[in-house]
A = this chain, B = another copy of it.
Amino acid sequence: MSNPERSSSPVIIGVVTVSDRASRGEYEDRGGPAIQKYLNDVVSTPYQTCLRVIPDELSVIEQTLQELADTDECCLIITTGGTGPAARDITPEATETVCERMMPGFGELMRKVSLEKVPTAILSRQTAGIRGKTLIVNLPGQPKAIGECLDAVFPAIPYCIELMQGPYMETNPEFIVAFRPKKK
């Protein structure tokens, strides 16, 4: 199951803020930094990040996700923004286009958790999927929702990356206990 060559490869994580206003500098990006802080707290394995701030343009989002997956070899890409019902919100569609296989459980669980806070959580169209050896996970744009959503799904991410033949990632158990089923 494990691929030693790839397992010893560095952990590279893409962080993509999708926001017209943030990409034009009209608005301070708060989603990207919130994800970076989260990773800093939670991921105890050494890792690098690739940061992008891009507009809500389908082709730009698709190209950015493709480059981070294929060229930068990110094992994980986390997006923030563009998941709502507004006309320009198109991040889930871009994600679905670049992924070969979808992971519906991520969106279901994130909406369930957010729904405990606000009834408008059902408006978040966020999804997750797999492109090659890269897991792509959408988060909403609100910084407050980022921690809630990541707390819900992050325990499953290191094992997911392992099943995808990616690098071994350890978490800081003070924040998140990465779950790995016992070998049978």
- State the A residues within 8 Å of B (CB): 84-87, 89-90, 92-93, 101-109, 111-112, 115, 118-125, 127, 130, 133, 135, 142, 153, 155-156, 159-160, 163-165, 179-181, 184
**Contact, CB under 8 Å: B109 / A108:** no
CB<8 Å pairs between A and B, sample of 8: A89-B101, A93-B101, A104-B125, A105-B121, A108-B112, A119-B155, A120-B155, A120-B181
Q: Which of B85, B86, B105, B118 contacts A111 (CB 8 A)?
A: B105
**Contact, CB under 8 Å: A159 / B120:** yes
Inside 8 A of A164's CB, which chain B residues have their CB?
85-87
**Contact, CB under 8 Å: B122 / A105:** yes
**Contact, CB under 8 Å: A179 / B130:** no
Q: Which of B101, B103, B125 contacts A103 (CB 8 A)?
A: B125
**Min CB distance, A102 to chain B, in Å?**
7
**Min CB distance, A116 to chain B, in Å?**
12
**Given A87-B164, A121-B156, 6 more contacts at CB 8 Å?**
A85-B130, A85-B160, A87-B165, A104-B127, A105-B121, A108-B112
**Min CB distance, A25 to chain B, in Å?**
18
Inside 8 A of A85's CB, which chain B residues have their CB?
101, 103, 130, 135, 160, 163-164
